[in-house]
Amino acid sequence: DIQMTQSPSSLSASVGDRVTITCRASQSISTYLNWYQQKPGKAPKLLIYAASTLQSGVPSRFSGSGSGTDFTLTISSLQPEDFAAYYCQQSYNTRAFGPGTRVEIK
């Protein structure tokens, strides 16, 4: 099975900060990588699919990059509504999620 890791597991940041989250696959998954945001008590929300394509309606401050085994999610200027958990997901074979990164207010 392909293992997904994320770093960091949590981070503290301020409004306006640039935030980068990393996701790594244990073997190449091409660009079959999605990113989700989840707030407490809610279902995950799709932000980016195919590593770098922004889902309709998602603000342009979110961006994704990478291919193969290494991927990043960047929030260019953190907004109050962005404090949440973020998960990567590979769709190369299974559809497993990474362990997540919690973005907290500094």
Partner 1 sequence: QVQLVQSGAEVKKPGASVKVSCQSSGYTFTNYDINWVRQATGQGPEWMGWMNPNSGATGYSQKFQGRVTMTRSTSISTAYLELSDLRSDDTAVYYCARSGFGTGVNFDYWGQGTLVTVTS
Question: Which one, of 10, 25, 39, 30, lies nearest residue 88 by Cα?
Answer: 25
Which is closer to partner 1, CB of 17 or CB of 92?
92
Query: Could you tell me the smallest distance in angstroms from the CB atom of residue 52 to partner 1?
Result: 13
Q: Which burial class, exposed, middle or buried, applies to 106 when counting CB atoms under 10 A from its CB (0-12, 13-18, 19+)?
A: exposed
What is the CB neighbour count within 10 angstroms for residue 90? 23
Give the whole-angstrom CA distance, residue 17 versus residue 45: 22
Among 32, 62, 73, 103, binds partner 1 (CB under 8 A): 32
* 79 lies in the site for partner 1, by CB under 8 A: no
From 15-23, 31-39, 58-66, 70-78, give the range in contact with partner 1 by CB under 8 A: 31-39
The site for partner 1 (CB under 8 A) is made up of 1, 32, 34, 36, 38, 43-46, 49-50, 55, 85, 87, 89, 91-100
